[in-house]
Amino acid sequence: MPDIKNQFNQSTFNDAKFFGDGKPIPRFLTPAAAAVPSSFLGREKELNDIRTLLTRQNTLALVNAEGGMGKTTLAARYWQQYENAYQHLAWLFCENGILAALRAQLPHALGLVETLNQYADKPDQQTQVIKTEMANLPKDCLLVLDNANEEDHIRAFQQVMSGLGWHVLITSRCSKVLSDAESEYKITGLPPAQAKELFKKYHDEKNLDFETLLDRFLEAIGYNTLCIEVFSKNLHEGAGLGMSLTSLLEKLEKNGLFLVEESFMIQTDWANNIQKETLKSTDQLIEALYNVADLQQRHPDLHDLLSATALLPAENHPLWVLGELLRPDDKPGLKGQLDQLAKKGWLATDSATYRISPVLQKILLQRNAERRWALGEPIVQQLQNNFETEGSHSKNIASAGPFAELVFGLADNLNDANKELSIVFDRLWVYHTATGNLAKAMNTAHKNREINERSGDKNGLAISYQYLGDTHSALGNLPQALTFFEKFNALSKELHEAYPENVEFKNGLAISYQFLGNTQTELGYLPQALTFFEQYNQLEKELHETYPQNADFKKSLAISYSKLGGTHTELGNLHQALICNENANQMIKELHEAYPENVEFKNGLSISYSKLGETHRALSNLPQALTLFKQLNQLAKELHEAYPENVEFKNGLSISYSKLGSTHSALGNLTQALTFFEQYNGLAKELHEANPENVEFKNGLAVSYSQLGRFFLDKKGDSQKGKDYFQQCFALWKDLSEEYPDYVQFRKYFEWANNALGD
């Protein structure tokens, strides 16, 4: 701290006032206030609001904000603008405590040095002497307490200096510390236009990309005023060496906020104001901005909680979300600690949500580079629970939504690649697929592939190929789907051949044949599809025979029989189809009875009823088909009612109405048939409108129109109504056949609808 006594030269006392004892009291009780930067912009409203707070009866205002938002600069501008309204003024930098700063910086100006020496070992008495002297000065007077960032220090000042009678302006990161909440005044970063103006004051580039890049930079730092000044000056210094905003952003993306060897020595008013002349390089300034090292030393538990929070995206997080992720077993305790951090200015809060600033986040990520996984692993494990799956079923689909948006940001901040993180993305893909968000499912599958490529996990990589193929298939991109399924199959073969005793790898190979068969079916190549389904069936037979108690292998074997049955039905091999579908139905029924709470088995049973019913209908066994479709409908209803957000289950219910409608129509039960056709059409519309990119749902809507059209034309003799429905299915199949030419069925359906309209 500078020598206060020596700074009070003759000019300091030019404005001194003399009292009854002849003692001169200077107008400025401390050296000059913090400097107002020549780049000061705006803040007129804030200045007026602060003036209003200080001139009312309470005479105290606390300006709070996270570090680097311009609190000190705003206070300095207030001092400058209203200086002449005060008889005496004092500016104290309070990093080491407010009362300590009073005792260290005011005695000389107040002529109290000798008096206080009498109480050298009684700091409380010294404080009272100073307070009495200040209170007796003519009013109005202004005291600025700058960087008072400890709640206890502020409360102690309020208690001890009560009745001082001065206007007191406090700048602090702390919030919710004053007894009068209205005396606290929160400021934020500069508006975008002024933030850009401030940046350009020190550095500008005349190129087309600069404005776009500058917007991106400002948003990334949360319009932090100090960071704008620091990095624009750093750019100005580095421009002669070829640095540009483009290269700066690349550096920041690589190193966080620290530029390492390209951190130039610069001057800022902030560094001078807090009298830390050694803080000159950009890295030193950013490190000092929040003084995280002090938090770590004094409150390591709070530091680790703050560091864990920094792994999440820098946005508002509801308390219950943070509770689930950070402290599921002690949510009340977590709230207490989050509130502590908020009061100290490390977090912003509105009581319901908490947010870390992007600047502080980047500082913590940099400081904890070696500890990120240790801090983040509990969050990853909790996310695994939140996205828990049961086969391809997302168990927590109704409650997982708020966490889905956090996973990518967490992964980027962890900057790690391992099996635990891959599991989260596996389960997140199932969630996005179940909720019908194929764009997010695709991004999730790509990110999962990236993680497994980085970690070298070949099995995880094979699964990510499966997800990519499945998503492309749902989007109608069959060639891309086939490419990924072939990669899935090739890698699965490699793993199985290298580790033939590993049952997980063998099962993975079996499943890869299933997806190859599915794609060949969609492409219209049924003999090739049948070959792949036979390979799928053979491998699952071997696994089930070796591990008869393994429910998942039994389920997969049932699915393989179902796939064979469906293909044989399409090929007209109805005897083989019936055998396969009966096998599938029997096995999955046993699983459902043994595990009635297992949603995957229940859904599998509903599908088996569908496939078996189709075969019986092809065999003209309509009563049996109707019974099976009723069982399908009952299970589909239960699944949809239990998980209304799951689009697969909603689609399964719609399909059950389609099958009931067509069977009742064939049996001559026209009233029931129309009811089911209309229910099918209603659900198909909802699915397509909510998920327009999903090819299956668009095709389902077309099918529902075709069924209604055929019903009114053939059963009701209403040619106009039938034609209206055919025109709607014709339009949809025309779009599908043109947009997805690889789907043979769409061309066939389009031709059929075209002929139906012609007839």
Same domain (yes/no): 285, 163: no
The total number of structural domains that make up the chain: 4
Give residue 217's domain range.
192-289
Q: Are 694 and 436 in contact (CB under 8 A)?
A: yes
pLDDT at 270 over 70: no
Q: Which of 293, 345, 361 is nearest to 71 (CA)?
A: 345
Asked if residue 358 is part of any domain, the answer here is: no
Same domain (yes/no): 176, 227: no
Task: Count CB atoms within 10 A of the CB of residue 277.
Answer: 10
Same domain (yes/no): 176, 239: no
pLDDT at 83 over 60: yes
Tell me if residue 130 falls in helix, strand or coil: helix
Give the type of residue at 47: L
How high is the pLDDT of residue 21? 53
Asked if residue 377 is part of any domain, the answer here is: yes
Same domain (yes/no): 171, 228: no
270 vs 218, residue with greater confidence: 218
State the DSSP string of 342-365: HHTTSSEE-SSEEE--HHHHHHHH
Q: What is the mean pLDDT of the chain?
A: 87
Asked if residue 547 is part of any domain, the answer here is: no
**Distance separating alpha carbons of residues 296 and 327, to the nearest angstrom:** 20
**Distance separating alpha carbons of residues 290 and 224, to the nearest angstrom:** 12
**Distance separating alpha carbons of residues 290 and 303, to the nearest angstrom:** 12
Same domain (yes/no): 285, 419: no
Residue 32's pLDDT band (cuts 50, 70, 90): low
pLDDT at 11 over 50: no
Distances, alpha carbon 750 to alpha carbons 140, 729, 731, in Å = 87, 8, 8
pLDDT at 694 over 90: yes
Residue 5's pLDDT band (cuts 50, 70, 90): very low
Q: Which of 22-36, 82-96, 575-589 has the highest mean pLDDT?
A: 575-589
Q: Which of 186, 219, 247 is the last residue of a domain?
A: 186
Same domain (yes/no): 16, 150: yes
Same domain (yes/no): 235, 131: no
For 197, what's the count of Cα atoms within 13 Å in the CB-facing half-sphere? Answer: 10
pLDDT at 257 over 70: no
How high is the pLDDT of residue 2? 39
Percent of the chain with pLDDT over 90: 58
Q: Which of 143, 171, 186 is the last residue of a domain?
A: 186
Residue 558 region, left (φ>0) first, then alpha (ψ -120 to 50), else beta?
alpha
Same domain (yes/no): 11, 160: yes
Q: Where are the beta strands (DSSP E) in 565-714?
A: none
Helices (H), 291-437: 292-298, 300-309, 319-326, 331-343, 358-367, 372-386, 401-404, 407-414, 419-434
Q: For residues 305-312, give the mean pLDDT.
A: 95
End-to-end CA distance of the chain: 97
Residue matched to tokens 């792949």: 532
**Distance separating alpha carbons of residues 419 and 327, to the nearest angstrom:** 23
pLDDT at 703 over 60: yes
Give the type of residue at 100: A
pLDDT at 222 over 80: no
Q: For residues 314-332, give the mean pLDDT.
A: 92
DSSP label at residue 711: I
Same domain (yes/no): 657, 745: yes
Note the pLDDT tens digit of each residue in 205-217.
777 778 887 887 7
With vertex at residue 633, the alpha carbon angle to CA 684 and CA 732, rounded to the nearest 5 degrees, is: 20
133 vs 756, residue with greater confidence: 133
pLDDT at 458 over 90: yes
Q: For residues 719-737, give the mean pLDDT.
A: 90
For 408, what's the count of Cα atoms within 13 Å in the CB-facing half-sphere? Answer: 12
Asked if residue 340 is part of any domain, the answer here is: no
pLDDT at 359 over 80: no
pLDDT at 410 over 60: yes
CATH number reported for the structural domain that contains residue 29 in this entry: 3.40.50.300
Q: Which of 352, 343, 296, 299 is nearest to 322 (CA)?
A: 352
Q: For residues 15-43, give the mean pLDDT.
A: 66
**Distance separating alpha carbons of residues 598 and 593, to the nearest angstrom:** 10
CATH number reported for the structural domain that contains residue 658 in this entry: 1.25.40.10
Residue 74's pLDDT band (cuts 50, 70, 90): confident
pLDDT at 190 over 90: no
Asked if residue 757 is part of any domain, the answer here is: yes
Same domain (yes/no): 182, 197: no
**Distance separating alpha carbons of residues 392 and 419, to the nearest angstrom:** 19
Q: Are 638 and 599 in contact (CB under 8 A)?
A: no
Task: Count CB atoms within 10 A of the CB of residue 370.
Answer: 7
Task: Count CB atoms within 10 A of the CB of residue 382.
Answer: 17
Q: For residues 249-278, give the mean pLDDT.
A: 56
pLDDT at 152 over 70: yes
Q: Which of 186, 207, 227 is the last residue of a domain?
A: 186
Asked if residue 62 is part of any domain, the answer here is: yes
Distances, alpha carbon 37 to alpha carbons 9, 148, 225, 238, 274, in Å = 25, 21, 12, 22, 14
Asked if residue 591 is part of any domain, the answer here is: no
Same domain (yes/no): 98, 57: yes
Tell me if residue 457 falls in helix, strand or coil: coil
Asked if residue 721 is part of any domain, the answer here is: yes
Same domain (yes/no): 120, 105: yes
Distances, alpha carbon 624 to alpha carbons 210, 354, 675, 677, in Å = 71, 59, 20, 20
Residue 731's pLDDT band (cuts 50, 70, 90): very high
